[in-house]
Structure 1
Amino acid sequence: MIKSVLLGATLALAPLTVAAQQVTLTSETTTPGSTPHYIDSTLAAVLDSTGVATLQITEGATLTNSVQAVAEGRLDMAPAPLILPFLLSRGIGPYSGVGPDKGAELAANLRVIFFNAGSAQMLGYYNSNPIEDIRDMSGKRIWNGPPRGAALTSGRAMIQLLSGLKDGEGYEGVQSAWPDAVSTITGGGVDAWTIPEGLPSGREITIASAGGITIHDVPSDLLASKLGQQILKAPGHAPYSVPIEDFRNAYAGNDITVVVDDDSFDSFATAFGQIVPAGMDEQLVYDIVTAFLEGEERFLTGSPRGPFARISFGDIDGVSQGACGAVQIKMHPGAIRAYEAAGHTIADYLRP
């Protein structure tokens, strides 16, 4: 992992007395080029420029570990795919070693300060080695995520939805750590890949630089099927739909073909919540979220992916954010106060 302190020029020019008042917080995030990394790096700049806090970020983290670190109080903040608090609360999946009792205790120590759902699951392959029928991927080698965690769960769900196959039963799933994902794919060791991607995805653009690629959404009949609806409503997922022209325009100038069966790119999103420990100071959280909300334009315009990141700057109903249902997670009181002070509503379900 790469550790960096993301500081703005404002701090360097500010009086020392102001700098001394800033709280230093620790955070972990994903690799550069991802939606969580963009949000976290922008948040760090916003908090720095407003004098609220200095955010020390470790990049390229495995969020499975980051979520547990926040729950244990060893880390102040992290972006959490919402399936991870769900799994932690039950002590299953990557948290099976924690156990259900301890897992429930740890999960109860997590609070969300804002949400986003900007990463849509998609399938890709090189045009030089095309998948002739995405509903028949038997015998293929498919990169479907890192060795464990939310992305792997979603990747396996995608291939099962498209072709009815399970990892190791009909196709060979290939996993590697996030920093090695692109090299694993461009190295020619797989026939296809499925990844939750923001729009536009720097990773897909990098992959396409080695040769033209095609990416697919989920066909409408499959998304509307019983399994498709189960996946849409599964813990950590949220609906995702972008007009196809907007989607294609985001990749204009790159050798990327986008295939859909209607006028939109439809899939399921990986629902995220920015998490902090439940015991974080309420006034500090209020100040953080107030700065976040006031920095909306910076988040939306600071990157081409900003308008598609689905960051929660308005009312929060819980359903749109993938946080009502099986996922049992609450918002921090300081965050609720900041949203309400800005004139927004929060679903009762999300109140602690």
Structure 2
Amino acid sequence: MESAVANSVLGMIPQSMATYWAKDGIDLQLSLNQTLTKSLLKVAAGKLDSALVPPLAFDALKKGVGPYKKMGNKATQLASNVRTLFGVPGSLFQAVTWADDDIKNWSDAAGKRVFIGPPSSAANKQIMALATAGGLTEGSYDPIKAPWGAATQSFQDGQFDVYVGAFGFASQSLAELSLSHKIRILSLASENQEPPAELGLQIAIIPPNTYPGQVNESPAITWQTLMMMAVHKDFSEETAYQLTKTYFENRAAVAKTNAMLTQLPTIDHLAGVNAPLHPGALRYFKEIGVSVPDNLLPQ
């Protein structure tokens, strides 16, 4: 299984679940710090058993666009090999500026440098859509792309003015950043600014005082990513069933171990999922009475 950086929500979920999966007979070999658009491609090609991937990336693979544009029809063919087990809440996009600069809201970032995630990342489109919803016209700012792992230090070094990081709620790394220099989190104007349906996002709220050096006096409204556990269509049905069953039977317990994982039990079983379910996962959902839309039924 592959996932994102170790201290991210997506890295912590499989790390935290590994013990429970092991108790139920699943020996997990986990590789972190991966580019998830590439992980999806490995799953589709049968070179990797499973990965936490963005629904937006799967949509791009089906259409042969974005990071898969050069693959042409081969991308669409590979997408037909992908199945999913369940949806998981991902990170919150938290647009950070220094409290003492002149950027108080999204529109103030016109003409500034805005970090939008790693090159060829599904996050690029999501973050740019968030900026647009905040009132920052596309083309009015300089979009900066760099690896997630280097972003915090690059922001501290002044390489960009707005750091739109993918953090878990109450992220320790963001708390530490705010202690070194007070921060402001940019907000959308209203909780009614729903993200475009195809982007695999949902509304999220960051209250004041979430971080020790946060100066926001009102809640910051942003968007949260939704991810899905992807497997190859030929993945073992019994293993798919057990991975899914163990996850849902233990996600509440895992959520109590870390503040960044508190949202694990709160989202729907299929939130964000846009690829057909694996038969093993479908068997579990039928057992517990979860209704599965026709478009997610195994093909």
* TM-score normalised according to structure 2 size: 0.91
Residue 253 of structure 2, aligned match among 286, 289, 298: 298
Are 1:216 and 2:174 counterparts?
no
Are 1:84 and 2:42 counterparts?
no
Other-structure match for 1:240: 203
Other-structure match for 1:13: none
Other-structure match for 1:49: 23
Once residues 125 and 249 of structure 1 are traced to their aligned partners in structure 2, the CA distance between those partners, rounded to angstroms, is: 15
Are 1:139 and 2:111 counterparts?
yes
Other-structure match for 1:268: 223
Other-structure match for 2:215: 257
Other-structure match for 1:331: 277
Is the contact made by 1:200 and 1:304 (CA closer than 8 Å) also made in structure 2?
yes
Once residues 133 and 53 of structure 2 are traced to their aligned partners in structure 1, the CA distance between those partners, rounded to angstroms, is: 24
SS of aligned partner of 1:119: strand
Once residues 285 and 248 of structure 1 are traced to their aligned partners in structure 2, the CA distance between those partners, rounded to angstroms, is: 40
Once residues 75 and 117 of structure 1 are traced to their aligned partners in structure 2, the CA distance between those partners, rounded to angstroms, is: 22
Are 1:117 and 2:89 counterparts?
yes
Is the contact made by 1:110 and 1:278 (CA closer than 8 Å) also made in structure 2?
yes
Task: Please report how far the alpha carbon of residue 271 of structure 1 lies from its aligned counterpart in structure 2 after TM superposition.
Answer: 1.7
Once residues 217 and 78 of structure 2 are traced to their aligned partners in structure 1, the CA distance between those partners, rounded to angstroms, is: 42
Runs (5+) with no aligned partner, structure 2: none
Is the alpha carbon distance of 1:189 and 1:139 closer, same or farther for their aligned partners in structure 2, counting shifts above 3 Å?
A: same
Are 1:71 and 2:17 counterparts?
no
RMSD of Structure 2 on Structure 1 (CA): 2.1
Q: Sequence identity, in percent? A: 24
SS of aligned partner of 2:27: strand
Greater relative CO (CA pairs within 8 A, separation 6+): 2
The residue type equivalent to 1:177 in the other structure is P
Is the contact made by 1:199 and 1:309 (CA closer than 8 Å) also made in structure 2?
no
Task: Please report how far the alpha carbon of residue 258 of structure 1 lies from its aligned counterpart in structure 2 after TM superposition.
Answer: 3.5
Once residues 137 and 179 of structure 1 are traced to their aligned partners in structure 2, the CA distance between those partners, rounded to angstroms, is: 23
Is the contact made by 1:117 and 1:310 (CA closer than 8 Å) also made in structure 2?
no
SS of aligned partner of 1:57: coil
Is the contact made by 2:168 and 2:261 (CA closer than 8 Å) also made in structure 1?
no
Point out the more displaced range, 104-113 or 293-302.
Answer: 293-302
Task: Please report how far the alpha carbon of residue 151 of structure 1 lies from its aligned counterpart in structure 2 after TM superposition.
Answer: 1.2
Once residues 30 and 267 of structure 1 are traced to their aligned partners in structure 2, the CA distance between those partners, rounded to angstroms, is: 21
Query: Radius of gyration: which is bigger?
Result: 1
Runs (5+) with no aligned partner, structure 1: 1-26
Task: Please report how far the alpha carbon of residue 75 of structure 1 lies from its aligned counterpart in structure 2 after TM superposition.
Answer: 0.7
The residue type equivalent to 1:331 in the other structure is L
Is the alpha carbon distance of 1:310 and 1:34 closer, same or farther for their aligned partners in structure 2, counting shifts above 3 Å?
A: farther
SS of aligned partner of 1:305: helix
Residue 121 of structure 2, aligned match among 149, 152, 156: 149
SS of aligned partner of 1:218: coil
Once residues 127 and 265 of structure 1 are traced to their aligned partners in structure 2, the CA distance between those partners, rounded to angstroms, is: 14
Is the alpha carbon distance of 1:310 and 1:297 closer, same or farther for their aligned partners in structure 2, counting shifts above 3 Å?
A: closer
Is the contact made by 1:60 and 1:178 (CA closer than 8 Å) also made in structure 2?
no
Other-structure match for 2:6: 32
Once residues 186 and 26 of structure 2 are traced to their aligned partners in structure 1, the CA distance between those partners, rounded to angstroms, is: 41
Once residues 49 and 248 of structure 1 are traced to their aligned partners in structure 2, the CA distance between those partners, rounded to angstroms, is: 40
Are 1:350 and 2:296 counterparts?
yes
Is the alpha carbon distance of 1:159 and 1:296 closer, same or farther for their aligned partners in structure 2, counting shifts above 3 Å?
A: closer
* TM-score normalised according to structure 1 size: 0.78
Instruction: Show CA shifts across 1:148-172 (max 9, x none).
Output: 2111211222222223322xx2211
Task: Please report how far the alpha carbon of residue 234 of structure 1 lies from its aligned counterpart in structure 2 after TM superposition.
Answer: 3.7
Task: Please report how far the alpha carbon of residue 308 of structure 1 lies from its aligned counterpart in structure 2 after TM superposition.
Answer: 2.1
Once residues 185 and 262 of structure 2 are traced to their aligned partners in structure 1, the CA distance between those partners, rounded to angstroms, is: 21
The residue type equivalent to 1:322 in the other structure is G
Task: Please report how far the alpha carbon of residue 310 of structure 1 lies from its aligned counterpart in structure 2 after TM superposition.
Answer: 5.6
The residue type equivalent to 2:288 in the other structure is A
Task: Please report how far the alpha carbon of residue 108 of structure 1 lies from its aligned counterpart in structure 2 after TM superposition.
Answer: 1.2
Is the alpha carbon distance of 1:63 and 1:306 closer, same or farther for their aligned partners in structure 2, counting shifts above 3 Å?
A: same
SS of aligned partner of 2:109: coil
Other-structure match for 1:308: 263
Task: Please report how far the alpha carbon of residue 40 of structure 1 lies from its aligned counterpart in structure 2 after TM superposition.
Answer: 1.3
Once residues 65 and 202 of structure 2 are traced to their aligned partners in structure 1, the CA distance between those partners, rounded to angstroms, is: 25
Other-structure match for 2:160: 190
Is the contact made by 2:110 and 2:136 (CA closer than 8 Å) also made in structure 1?
no
Task: Please report how far the alpha carbon of residue 341 of structure 1 lies from its aligned counterpart in structure 2 after TM superposition.
Answer: 2.0
Is the contact made by 1:121 and 1:194 (CA closer than 8 Å) also made in structure 2?
yes
Is the alpha carbon distance of 1:76 and 1:258 closer, same or farther for their aligned partners in structure 2, counting shifts above 3 Å?
A: farther
Is the contact made by 1:144 and 1:174 (CA closer than 8 Å) also made in structure 2?
yes
SS of aligned partner of 1:240: strand
Is the contact made by 1:87 and 1:95 (CA closer than 8 Å) also made in structure 2?
yes
Once residues 336 and 150 of structure 1 are traced to their aligned partners in structure 2, the CA distance between those partners, rounded to angstroms, is: 27
Task: Please report how far the alpha carbon of residue 257 of structure 1 lies from its aligned counterpart in structure 2 after TM superposition.
Answer: 3.0
